[in-house]
A and B are shown apart, each in its own frame.
Chain A
Amino acid sequence: MAGFDKVVLSYDEAMAGLDDGMTVIAGGFGLCGIPENLIAEIKRRQTKGLTVVSNNCGVDGFGLGILLEDKQIRKMVASYVGENALFEKQLLNGELEVDLTPQGTLAEKMRAGGAGIPAFYTATGVGTPVAEGKETRTFDGKEFLLEESITGDFAIVKGWKADRYGNVMYRHTAQNFNPLAATAGKITVVEVEEIVEVGELEPSQIHTPGIYVDRVIQGTFEKRIEKVTVRS
């Protein structure tokens, strides 16, 4: 590897440096566009005490849900965690802490974190349990809440195509939180369906520029669907 070449050849190498107690930001919405092999690698490494930031926490047996099996997650920051029985159990036992965050606030926390903006004001959550303990300020007669941004030790991202320099494109709604997560990791790891040569991706069509990306790996994906719904 030399210069801007970010490609790594093993999942072990992709997640090298992940330690107990770190914060990991993950892309994905439900099971759509989740970095499923990077999550499996975190399970294989048995890293403990993690804070995981992701819109959801997978389902039992797939996605981030598999990190609950050996109690690797200490704290989950998410907007909706309803699809996961093990999650409920550990939450009620007090083995798992959860910080429920409005979905748009969560997205903005990642975006702002990656952009070097430490906090921002939003109307979302004013007057609700989300506002407890948070500073508010009035602008133009309307009340806003100060929300702090999020950065992670690692960001794990699922892309469609990347070139060797780490320029990434996402496919359809598998984009979701992925480009935001990609900006907010000290080490950002992207797994993709296809790695192409530098110059093959049209520059104006790139979603995540390679400057945000530290490691790229090509994987194969199950792409499980949470709710198969077809026209009757």
Chain B
Amino acid sequence: MALTREQMAQRVAQELRDGYYVNLGIGIPTLVANFVPQGMEVMLQSENGLLGMGAFPTEETLDADMINAGKQTVTAVKGASIFSSAESFAMIRGGHVDLTVLGAFEVDVHGNIASWMIPNKLVKGMGGAMDLVAGADNIIVTMTHASKNGESKLLADCSLPLTGKGCIKKVLTDLAWIEIDAGQFTLVERAPGVSVEEIVEKTAGKLVVPEHVPEMTFA
């Protein structure tokens, strides 16, 4: 079975480490915050200028001056800090964020990522995505393995305009955990009950399949 959005978030959360500063993109990445392991401390960075993002507020604590990068009202945790957009991106560009999780339309074997622009469709903008992929060392891309029409999103070369070049090393899809190195994908783990054959069939770029591909485990 393909992973649900929650299971994808849960699998990504296994990559968290105690003391990590983490930037989570919109969509599935946001859900990762719900699966931080017990007893582990991580601090969420929101690129509009908040390190230590907390839960959504209650009606009583709602504040127009407290939002996240998705423009939703939020709270700050104890120990949070708030700063300007330049300071925020200094953290991101300077490589100070330990883990970045974001979505994409396509990823290719060269580690290129396309996530912001579909030609002939209205372009809303890249927001902070280009800064995040260029600045972070440790990035996990979350996306479905193939489109609704069955077209692979793991390609030999991205077909859409890029968000970043050669910056992606890890991809979690609804079917597999894939790593990228030396111009090829490697199948590291598969979703429970998903066959290697299905993953091979749905991966357009060169995929190396080790002899043993373990199933993901969920606590």
Contact = CB atoms under 8 A, between A and B. Distances in A.
Interface of A: 29-33, 55, 78-82, 88, 91-92, 100, 102-108, 110-111, 122-130, 160, 171-180, 207, 223-231
A124 B135 contact: yes
Given A127-B166, A128-B162, A172 B66 contact: yes
B85 interface: yes
A70 B155 CA distance: 45
B84 A176 contact: yes
A91 B125 CA distance: 13
Contact of B59 (A92, A100, A175, A230): A230
Among B58, B84, B129, max chain A CB count under 10 A is at B84
A229 B85 contact: no
B89 A107 contact: yes
Interface of B, helix, strand, loop or mixed by DSSP = loop
Given A124-B130, A172-B82, A173-B66, A228 B166 contact: no
B48 interface: yes
B134 A175 contact: no
A177 B125 contact: no
A124 B62 contact: no
For this complex, into which size category does the number of interface residues on chain B fall? Answer: 35 or more
B58 A102 contact: no
Contacts of A179: 84, 86
A54 to B, nearest CB: 11
B91 to A, nearest CB: 10
Contacts of A79: 125-128
Nearest to A193: B65
A227 B71 contact: yes
Interface stretch (B14-22, B49-57, B179-187, B204-212): B49-57
Contacts of B138: none
B34 interface: no
Contacts of A104: 47, 85, 88-89, 92-93, 128, 130-131, 135
Nearest to A126: B165
B173 interface: no
Given A175-B82, A229-B72, A229-B73, A29 B130 contact: no
